[in-house]
Structure 1
Amino acid sequence: MLVHPQFDPVAIALGPVQIHWYGLTYLVAFGLFLLLARLRAAQPQFAQAGWTKQDVEDLLFYGVVGVIVGGRLGYALFYKPGEYLAHPLEILQVWKGGMSFHGGLLGVIGAMALFARRKGRSFLEVTDFVAPCVPTGLASGRIGNFINGELWGRAADPSLPWAMVFPQSGSLTPRHPSQLYQFALEGLLLFVVLWLYSRHPRPTGRVSGAFLIGYGSLRFTAEYFREPDSFLGLLALNMSMGQWLCVPMVLAGIGLWIWSGRAVGSAR
């Protein structure tokens, strides 16, 4: 079976300055967003609507703030509310780790709502624009998880060719490299589907709904291979916290998909 390579978490050391792999994956994520969003802005439906390079750069700024603030607050509220309520200042200690995708998503939604208001655009127009540019950033983040040897998978059959031992787990149990599963599913696969689907004009809200359904469904599936957080374990119905957070996400996506279709129909 395979053994996790035990990467040095520091990618580049220049004297006292240390650049961690995880920080580099965030930079890659933001760079990919900038590239893809500029391509989106050049598509006819958005170019005609007046989207500019400055809009893309502003979106990136709003998105970065939303991801960091929402991701950190989401982790504190969803995963360790008791601990952070007792020591609220520790929420600011982001260098100690602890980010939640679902919290980050809520943070980005709030940031996009503020961007839409200041730019005089509809909220769903903004989220439809952004949605296909997000999965590559998620993929980059999962590579960071793998390099750090964190968020490892559940125990796997030792005969599985890619079963991997993660020494960081404190055991020699072969496990699913669930970080790579998520990289492939909610990163690459979701990006390809959304990018191809959104190349042509769609009813307002339809691309956003597709993102919510797609990510929620793929993350829900990947959670069956990911080891639940040790301090939470499995919750009701033997589902992890990540799965429970995906349920309202998928339901919201389905509701948005149905609403966007009816809105088009009523407009006719």
Structure 2
Amino acid sequence: MLYLHQIDPIAFRIGPVAVHWYGLMYLLGFVAAWYLGRSRVRAGRLPGVDANAYGDLMFYAMLGVVLGGRIGYILFYDLRTYIEHPLQVFKIWQGGMSFHGGLLGVVVAMFWWGRRHKLHFFDVADFVAPLVPPGLGFGRLGNFINGELWGKATGGNWGVVFPQDPEVSRLILDPTMLRAQFESGALNMYARHPSQLYQFALEGVAMFVILWWYSSRPRPRYAISGLFALLYGVFRFAVEFVRLPDENLGYLAFGWLTMGQLLSVPLILIGLFWLWKSHRAPTLQPQPPAAAEKA
């Protein structure tokens, strides 16, 4: 099945202000994490932490995601462009966020917040890990709506034709003829893997289901964080085989290794190490806030 991508990246306008779907996807990710985390707080999955303290954690984590994601993308993927055009740094609605940079930003936020509340870093990380996949999933939907980070050509009679694809845009001299050319079959050879939707399914849906189920009962310290790192690293590494590398970077080695894969290898190794380390670690027992007040 072939699909022509013609989604307006602007969700709606309020006067002169344009609200982009990409920004709304991030907002939905934070809202999902907020409500899911509140349920874990009520269940006492992070003893001694109430709703107000959790609100602080979410605020710092949001800053970590946005600042770390943007800085990470600039450093890892496109430093030259931002040196030449520094104001591009602020155009987040156009995309350009790195998961690995956002992860580092959240790690810094959790470490700082955990020290303030005298909590072990990995108790905080294990609490936060199941809340992340919905945000990853919504972010990938935002990438799809923006028509960015598409995959390789499918080589068959299925996939998505992205008008933003330079190979397609060169053929479309008159935008009003786009639909007609698509329906005539002239663009079939340019159909690509919707790798953004693959990542939505794996990093968003599958990771959330697995981690939420796995964390539904107490697990040893490091275990949930380790599973998160392992799953993300494996899923990202796999999808990169059908996703085009960033144009300014290309393949780094062997004719197939991408920056996304290179950055995912440490996550896989760290995830395996944390899972191994969890076998000798203590298990944090739930303590609902009401019980903590009576203790």
Q: Given the two structures, how large is their TM-score scaled by the length of structure 1?
A: 0.91
Cα distance in 1 for partners of 2:234, 2:143 equals: 20
Cα distance in 2 for partners of 1:85, 1:174 equals: 34
Cα distance in 1 for partners of 2:37, 2:45 equals: 13
Q: How many residues align?
A: 261
Cα distance in 1 for partners of 2:17, 2:93 equals: 15
Q: Which residue of 1 aligns with 2:171?
A: none
What secondary structure does 1:236 align onto? coil
1:102 aligns with 2:120: no
Contact 1:10 1:19 (8 Å CA) reproduced: yes
Cα distance in 2 for partners of 1:88, 1:19 equals: 23
Q: Which residue of 2 aligns with 1:217?
A: 234
What secondary structure does 2:25 align onto? helix
Cα distance in 2 for partners of 1:87, 1:13 equals: 27
Q: Which residue of 1 aligns with 2:176?
A: none
Q: Which residue of 2 aligns with 1:35?
A: 35
Cα distance in 2 for partners of 1:177, 1:133 equals: 25
Distance 1:19 1:84, change over 3 A: closer
Match of 2:218 among 182, 201, 208: 201
Contact 1:29 1:140 (8 Å CA) reproduced: yes
Q: Which moved more, 1:218-227 or 1:182-191?
A: 218-227
Q: Which residue of 1 aligns with 2:252?
A: 235
Cα distance in 2 for partners of 1:164, 1:11 equals: 21
Q: Which moved more, 1:253-262 or 1:70-79?
A: 253-262
Letter in 2 for 1:14: I
Distance 1:210 1:83, change over 3 A: same
Cα distance in 2 for partners of 1:17, 1:81 equals: 29
1:165 aligns with 2:157: no
Larger radius of gyration: 2
**Structure 2 gap ranges (5+):** 169-186, 284-295
**Structure 1 gap ranges (5+):** none
What secondary structure does 1:225 align onto? coil
Q: Which residue of 2 aligns with 1:15?
A: 15
Cα distance in 2 for partners of 1:117, 1:7 equals: 44
Q: Which residue of 2 aligns with 1:258?
A: 276
Deviations 1:169-190 (A, max 9, x none): 1224111111110000011000
Q: Given the two structures, how large is their TM-score scaled by the length of structure 2?
A: 0.83
